[in-house]
């Protein structure tokens, strides 16, 4: 005779429309979401009310039930094969994905840039990071990492923080891999995609930065990227943004500096290094109250990544993770 034992952990989060990391002990086999905000609502929307993920399914799979528009009822479950749930035993040990060919218009010149591909399976908007390889006509971004934005199923994805509208030509070939952009330990450096010429410089990075106000950072600006006056300078971060933008503001006056710009594809073909932001410490200004202290902190997690297909922005969700055992 066996006796079933079920362990549960639970918590809540308010969706911001981006993928959400739930940090829970490894080994859990099921996770459920319940929409607390819209329960009982008869509003004219189809917000996600309940969602379920299972560890034995491939990464990104899941099911959800949406509210019936104009009624306080729930529709039958819908299954998804991407942007659902991904169970992670150790985020620092995630393997890089296989090489995937771009197709169609490849990478266009837009703000943000859009990459065309025949498959978007496993990609999670706002969370997945891809590295580009072998781009043609746009070598200045080859081997650079990008957080992806809006996904059009089996068609395309945004390079969320890349404005390449000023480039000379679209990329006409290339491949990408999903990569693990976050090392186990904080802090980490990031590649730069834009810098403003302003009394307080604003820097945009290619991957969600994770910086906090109060950090001190050094800039590495190769000659080919223009704003060489910033190279080697150390600034204190006074403000950060995330979500639709991905910037830090520093106490460096760049208003008289030459403009920041990507090198040409021909320059990149000859070999260039990327512009970077490198954390070096923290400011002595206590008003920023940086509790991290810029010590080396292990930021790896085990748990579940909740994708954008199984949540609705602005709604509060209770999550329940379950693990069963028979003894």
pLDDT tens column, 299-314: 677 889 898 899 999 9
| Position 25 confidence tier, pLDDT thresholds 50, 70, 90 | confident
Question: Are 157 and 121 in contact, with CB atoms under 8 Å apart?
Answer: no
Mean pLDDT of the chain: 86
What are the residues whose beta carbons fall under 8 Å from the beta carbon of 138, sequence distance 6 or more? Answer: 107, 164, 167, 169, 170, 171, 174, 265
Say which range, 80-84, 95-99, 193-197, 285-289, has the weakest mean pLDDT.
285-289
Rounded to whole angstroms, the Cα distance separating 157 from 279 reads 29
Highest mean pLDDT among 89-103, 145-159, 178-192, 253-267: 253-267
Burial class (CB in 10 A: 0-12, 13-18, 19+), 141: buried
pLDDT tens per residue, range 198-232: 999 999 999 988 888 888 899 999 999 999 999 99
Contacts of residues 64-73 at CB distance under 8 Å and 24 or more positions apart, as own/partner, are: 64/33, 64/309, 64/310, 67/35, 67/38, 67/41, 67/43, 69/44, 69/45, 70/42, 70/43, 70/44, 71/42, 72/40, 72/41, 72/42
Confidence (pLDDT) at 212: 83
Q: How far apart are CA 213 and CA 235, in angstroms?
A: 11
What is the reported pLDDT for 104? 66
At residue 254 the predicted structure's pLDDT band, cuts being 50, 70 and 90, is very high
> CATH code for 100-179?
2.40.30.180
d(CA 261, CA 272): 13
As a whole number of angstroms, the distance between CA 157 and CA 159 comes to: 7
pLDDT at 282: 66
Beginning with the edge strand found earlier in the chain, give each strand of the sheet holding 20-23 in spatial order: 20-23, 303-306, 85-88
Q: What is the pLDDT of residue 1?
A: 47
The tens digit of pLDDT for each residue in 166-182 reads 898 888 888 898 887 66
CA–CA distance, 118 with 241 (Å, rounded to integer): 32
The percentage of the chain sitting over the pLDDT mark of 70, rounded to a whole number, equals: 87
Average confidence (pLDDT) over 117-133: 84
pLDDT at 243 over 80: no
pLDDT of residue 186: 66
Range among 185-194, 271-280, 281-290 with highest mean pLDDT value: 271-280
Q: Report the candidate in 55, 54, 87, 80 with the shortest Cα–Cα distance to residue 66.
A: 80
How far apart CA 239 and CA 283 sit, in angstroms, is 13
283 has a pLDDT exceeding 70 = no
Burial class (CB in 10 A: 0-12, 13-18, 19+), 99: exposed
Q: 185-298 maps to which CATH number?
A: 2.40.30.180
Distance from C-alpha of 267 to C-alpha of 269, rounded to nearest angstrom:
5
Identify which has the larger pLDDT, 89 or 45. Answer: 45
pLDDT value at 286 more than 50: no
Contacts of 225 (CB under 8 A, 6+ apart): 192, 260, 261, 262, 263, 275
pTM over 0.75: no
* pLDDT category of residue 15 using cuts at 50, 70 and 90: very high
- Looking at residue 213, its pLDDT comes to 85
Burial 21-57, CB ≥16 within 10 A → b, else e: ebebeeebebbbbebeebeeeeeeeebbbbbbbebeb
H or E segment and range at residue 318: strand 316-326
Q: Which helix (H) or strand (E) holds 236?
A: strand 234-240
Separation CA 307–CA 75 (nearest Å):
20
């Amino acid at each position: 005779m066996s006796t079933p034992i079920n362990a549960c952990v639970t918590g809540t989060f308010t969706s911001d429309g981006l993928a959400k990391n739930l940090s829970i002990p490894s080994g859990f086999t099921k996770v459920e979401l319940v929409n607390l905000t819209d329960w009982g609502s008869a509003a004219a929307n189809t917000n996600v009310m309940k969602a379920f993920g299972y560890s034995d399914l491939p990464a990104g799979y899941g099911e959800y039930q949406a509210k019936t528009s104009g009624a306080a009822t729930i529709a039958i479950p819908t299954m998804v094969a991407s942007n659902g749930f991904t169970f992670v035993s150790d985020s620092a040990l995630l393997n890089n994905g296989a090489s995937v060919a771009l197709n169609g218009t490849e990478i266009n010149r837009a703000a943000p840039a859009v990459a065309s591909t025949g498959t978007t399976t496993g990609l999670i908007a706002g969370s997945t990071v891809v590295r580009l390889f072998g781009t043609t006509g746009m070598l200045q971004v080859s081997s650079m990492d990008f957080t992806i934005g809006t996904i059009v199923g089996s068609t395309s994805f945004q390079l969320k923080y890349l404005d390449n509208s000023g480039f000379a030509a679209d990329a006409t070939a290339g491949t990408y891999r999903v990569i693990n952009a976050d090392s186990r330990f904080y802090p980490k450096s990031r590649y730069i995609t834009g810098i403003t010429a302003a009394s307080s410089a604003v820097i945009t990075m290619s991957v969600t930065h994770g910086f906090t106000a109060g950090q001190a950072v050094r800039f590495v600006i190769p000659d080919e990227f223009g704003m060489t006056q910033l190279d080697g300078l150390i600034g204190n971060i006074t403000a950060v943004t995330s979500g639709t933008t991905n910037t830090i503001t520093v106490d460096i006056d760049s208003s008289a500096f030459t403009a920041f710009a990507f090198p040409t594809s021909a320059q990149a073909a000859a070999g260039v290094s990327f512009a970077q932001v490198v954390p070096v410490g923290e400011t002595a200004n206590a008003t920023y109250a940086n509790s991290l202290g810029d010590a080396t902190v292990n930021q790896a997690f085990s748990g579940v990544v909740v994708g954008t297909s199984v949540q609705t922005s602005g709604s509060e969700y209770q999550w329940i993770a379950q693990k069963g055992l028979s003894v």
